[in-house]
Amino acid sequence: MKYRNELIEGRGSKKLPFLLFLCTENVDMSKRILITGGAGFIGSHVVRLFVQQYPAYQIVNLDCLTYAGNLANLKDIEQSPNYFFEKVNILDVPALEQVFKKYDITDVLHLAAESHVDRSIVSPLDFVYTNVIGTVNLLNTAKTYWKENLAEHRFYHISTDEVYGTLGDTGLFTEQTPYAPNSPYSASKASSDHFVRAYHETYHLPVVISNCSNNYGPFHFPEKLIPLFINNIIHQKPLPVYGDGKNTRDWLYVIDHARAIDVVFHQGKNGETYNIGGFNEWKNIDLVQLLCRLMDEKLGRDPGTSARLITYVKDRPGHDLRYAIDATKINRELGWKPSVTFEEGLSKTIDWYLDNKEWLEQVTSGDYQHYYEKMYHQS
């Protein structure tokens, strides 16, 4: 029988000053996965899935807790023995190096990013720093720390379909679609994608990339369309629709996205890109009309009540007309496909927000930002 003993001390929120004796025979303790941005919308779902699905893995959630990072998203798993949290900004290279050394990180799932297009138009440099320089910092840290045995590791970069630019009335984004970003946000993500690919080609870093369509679901910060409009409908506030409302997006249920990330991480081929889409194209105005109808039904309001809140506003600069993902490759090669239709996923999402109004009130008031201090007793 093989045992490993180690002194465990100061792992994130856990202070365990004792010798831990672990039986390692027939147990895979080889993966110590760093998930960046794990307190965010998509990241929290990925952290939860990996913590629950792989109890033998050590999952380290690294997040600097900006306005969109909320540790309350992970209340249900924060005491799990294989979960650890580190409050670190990916711009802080010494701190990244310390985390890699502290946990002996074997793999990275990189989700940390500034992601709101409107914010990128106002402050593009924030997106350059986090999405480009932050990604390069992670690549450099991984390359240096793994240099003795690169082949045993994986750097998985999660990106967006917005790097491909815009489509007309027909066609789909494939993995071969040329990059043509139209906003500071998408330009920063395109740049980070290129750096990840370059590190694979130049330094042989084992990487995979995935580009996803618009995500929706529980724990989404209410600055994006669906959670914003749910919150506004609850409080009977205007629903601001850009332009004529005909911009079209492919919608992906966030739990399905987390499942796809799991599949790509474990089965994807190094150097490959995988597009992840929901096969759910909707014009914004049609989506809003459906959302209004479902909200009226669930809130017991007269039909048409919420639709009267729709307000058309000036279109934003560089607003792409249409995104649509061709997810054939990940389906054919790795066997992944969405588990719900958009109507099913939207109904589940609305139910979650209506059942979690306290969470919604906390994030819209900013009170959620005190959660870290309360739970972790750190500044």
C-beta separation of 345 from 293 below 8 A = no
Q: 82: closest CA among 52, 44, 46, 37?
A: 52
Alpha carbons 182 and 185: distance in angstroms, whole number: 8
Secondary structure class of 353 (helix, strand, coil): helix
Known catalytic residue: 161?
yes
Q: Round to whole Å and give the CA distance between 204 and 109.
A: 17
Which residues are registered as beta bridge partners of 208? 156
Find out whether 200 and 270 touch, Cβ atoms under 8 Å. yes
148: CB partners within 8 A, 6+ apart: none
The active-site residue out of 86, 161, 281, 320 is: 161
Q: List the structure tokens of 288.
A: 């809003």
Please give the Cα distance from 155 to 164 (Å, whole number): 22
Q: Which residues contact 295 (CB under 8 A, 6 or more apart)?
A: 230, 233, 234, 301, 306, 350
Q: Is 326 a catalytic residue?
A: no
Which residues are registered as beta bridge partners of 242? 313
Contact 49, 74 (CB under 8 A): no
List the structure tokens of 229.
């409009």
Burial of 215 (0-12, 13-18, 19+ CB in 10 A): buried
CA 211 – CA 174 distance, rounded (Å)? 10
Separation of CA 206 from chain center? 21
Sign of the Cα torsion 179, 184, 186, 192 reads positive
d(CA 282, CA 336): 22
End-to-end Cα, the chain, rounded Å:
43
Under 8 Å between Cβ of 130 and 91: yes
Question: Considering 185, 199, 216, 323, which one is annotated as catalytic?
Answer: 185
Task: Given the residues 78, 107, 162, 193, select the one marked as catalytic.
Answer: 162
Q: Which residues are identified as catalytic?
A: 161-162, 185
